[in-house]
Amino acid sequence: MKLFEKTLVVYKPVEGCLKLAGLASTVLRTYGVDTYTITVDDLYNQATYRGEVPRFDLVVSVGGDGTFMKSAKCAGYTSLILPYPCGKRNAYYEHGLQGIDRVVERVLNGDFYLEYIPLYSICVEESCRIFINDAVVASVDLGKAAKFRVNMESNVVKTSIFFEGDGVIVASSYGSSGHSLSAGGPIIIPEHESLVITPLNPLQTGIKSLVAPPYSKVELWAKSPAHLYTDGDHVALLKGGNGIRVEHSYRYLKVIRFSVKRDTWRAVIEPRQCVF
């Protein structure tokens, strides 16, 4: 009995990733798996402009973190996702893996375990979407400080902050290693399903990131017009006063892993080292 009947191989459109995707597809077809191959850009455009992407048992993501996030969101949370690194930033990928042909064979033989990565919901009025990494609200007029308000509520904590600045980032524990880290936020280990709230360039001194407990609800407002981004994609232009609600979606990505322990700090910090 085959573990997988239908598989999608998604790759970053560069030569090295194309070769790896070709090797993965060859192994899958050799094992009799119905396999489709597509670039991450084509997949994302298909999902954005043509509606929902057909469901697959397995999605192989060959690229960096951007490829992983787009592949995962387009393919849906019902598929198993196999990330294979071929990019500059690989926080979602395991390091030190064998060749992709051997890795795919291990997966087909059931030699793996699953990591569950939480998905978060962000809603503007009645319009909601899912994000994996982070949501960013940035003032339209970056030459002038805007006013922001953030409410956070959990089972044991309820608090609000007001500040003036360029925007605010709400990041997942995985997303804490991205834009939020660059803005001075902490790195949160992935197993801790927290949200990190990081103000962007606040005028008020002493305002630092707030780590919200797991399953917290976060609401924020920008007094003036602002851009909304999720996982690096521009999704809306907000009118002044639009309320935004962020919370756990209670859905998870099922990501294939081979090692029980991973060096999270190394995966985050190494690609950020300066090269002269």
**Total tally of structural domains belonging to the chain:** 2
Claim to verify: residue 98 and residue 150 sit in the same structural domain: no
Claim to verify: residue 98 and residue 149 sit in the same structural domain: no
**In this predicted structure, what is the pLDDT of residue 94?**
85
**Interatomic CA distance for residues 11 and 81, integer angstroms:** 13
Say which residues have a Cβ less than 8 Å from residue 2's Cβ, sequence separation at least 6: 31, 32, 33, 108
Mean pLDDT calculated for residue range 23-41: 94
Q: Is residue 234 part of a domain?
A: yes
**Interatomic CA distance for residues 231 and 54, integer angstroms:** 22
Q: Is residue 151 part of a domain?
A: yes
The share of the chain scoring above pLDDT 90, in percent, equals 59
**In this predicted structure, what is the pLDDT of residue 155?**
87
Span 234-272, pLDDT tens digits: 989 998 888 899 999 999 999 999 987 766 666 667 666
Say if residue 143 is exposed, middle or buried (CB neighbours under 10 Å; 0-12, 13-18, 19+).
Answer: exposed
Q: Give the CATH number for residue 223.
A: 2.60.200.30
Structure tokens of 98? 């064998």
Claim to verify: residue 175 and residue 212 sit in the same structural domain: yes
Structure tokens of 138? 């940035």
Span 114-168, pLDDT tens digits: 999 999 999 998 889 999 999 999 999 887 889 999 999 988 889 999 999 999 9
Claim to verify: residue 241 and residue 262 sit in the same structural domain: no
CA atoms lying within 13 Å on the CB side of residue 181 = 16
Q: Is residue 233 part of a domain?
A: yes
Claim to verify: residue 124 and residue 96 sit in the same structural domain: no
Residue that wins the pLDDT comparison between 43 and 273: 43
> Could you tell me which of 84, 82, 221, 87 has the C-alpha nearest to residue 149?
221
**Interatomic CA distance for residues 273 and 264, integer angstroms:** 15
Q: How many residues does the chain have?
A: 276
- Is the CB of residue 163 less than 8 Å from the CB of residue 207? yes
Q: Is residue 96 part of a domain?
A: yes
Q: Is residue 139 part of a domain?
A: yes
Give the pairing type, strands 80-85 and 195-200.
unpaired
- Is the CB of residue 44 less than 8 Å from the CB of residue 69? no
**Interatomic CA distance for residues 190 and 92, integer angstroms:** 10
**Interatomic CA distance for residues 276 and 27, integer angstroms:** 40
Span 54-89, pLDDT tens digits: 688 999 999 988 899 888 887 766 789 999 998 777
Say which amino acid occupies 248.
H
> Could you tell me which of 254, 256, 257, 258 has the C-alpha nearest to residue 76?
254
Q: Give the CATH number for residue 92.
A: 3.40.50.10330
> Could you tell me which of 84, 119, 117, 106 has the C-alpha nearest to residue 4?
106
Whole-angstrom distance between the N-terminal and C-terminal Cα of the chain? 53
**Interatomic CA distance for residues 256 and 105, integer angstroms:** 13
Structure tokens of 136? 């960013």
Claim to verify: residue 153 and residue 188 sit in the same structural domain: yes
Claim to verify: residue 124 and residue 244 sit in the same structural domain: yes
Claim to verify: residue 268 and residue 230 sit in the same structural domain: no
Q: Residue 204 belongs to what domain range?
A: 119-250
pTM of the model: 0.87
Mean pLDDT for all residues in the chain: 88
Claim to verify: residue 93 and residue 126 sit in the same structural domain: no
Claim to verify: residue 142 and residue 167 sit in the same structural domain: yes
* In the predicted structure, residue 29 carries a pLDDT above the cut 70: yes
**In this predicted structure, what is the pLDDT of residue 52?**
57
Q: Is residue 1 part of a domain?
A: no
Claim to verify: residue 99 and residue 162 sit in the same structural domain: no
Residue that wins the pLDDT comparison between 206 and 51: 206
37 beta partners: 9
**In this predicted structure, what is the pLDDT of residue 274?**
59
Helix H or strand E encompassing 10: strand 6-11
Q: Is residue 91 part of a domain?
A: yes
Claim to verify: residue 136 and residue 239 sit in the same structural domain: yes
Q: Is residue 221 part of a domain?
A: yes
* In the predicted structure, residue 49 carries a pLDDT above the cut 50: no
